[in-house]
Amino acid sequence: MTIEVKICGLDRAAAVDAAVSAGAHYTGFVFYPPSPRNLTPESAALLTERVPSSVTKVGLFVDPTDAKIDSVLALNDLDMIQLHGSESPARVAEVKKHTGLPVMKAIKIASARDIDDASVYYDIADRILFDALAPAEMMGALPGGNALKFDWTLIARLVVPLPWMLAGGLTAENLAEAIRVTGAPVVDVSSGVEDRPGVKSLDKIRAFLAAAKKL
């Protein structure tokens, strides 16, 4: 099967161009001020306008207000909203209705119980993203993009009744194993294609997408 790839946290024009030209199916733009990958609506607009209509543009938010989302959508023609915080199913439904866009809900996993908790979103979200839950003692941990992976065997035989993505600690080197264990149809990478937090490596972007194509 074809493994689709989302390159998230894109930070500059060259990174966007590298992701698109190397075959990314999704591009991700972060709107969360504590993140080193954070963009303003204005800076994001210079990047999202470079993405062709054949590639899905995803905006990542963490427990956003409607006003926050509106400020981004006023300048950016996004195709999907990604909610990466503690949003309830009701809030996911509100964002869908407010924006008229499909919504992807991130589920952070540390144990099987976290996977069970995901089921409450299955009838609400348009897509699920399984990511690693940062341990409480991890200093400076973000809601995502922490270069952490979870135990992939937890979702090895999981039946998800809607499209889903795998994220968390993925690199070009471990991608094949991640797909072998989980059977993920789509993967999402951010820190795994960076030289340092918030700074994408063009070479690593190309290498990750090349590794995906081999699968």
Q: Which residues are catalytic?
A: 8, 131
Q: Which of 62, 65, 115, 102 is nearest to 84 (CA)?
A: 62
What CA–CA distances, in Å, run from 13 to 38, 45, 64, 200? 15, 11, 25, 11
Tokens of 169: 């600690």
Q: What residue spans of the chain are helical by DSSP H?
A: 13-21, 41-48, 66-73, 89-99, 112-118, 175-182, 202-214
Q: Rounded to whole angstroms, how far apart are CA atoms 41 and 31?
A: 8
Cβ 86 vs Cβ 63: under 8 Å: yes
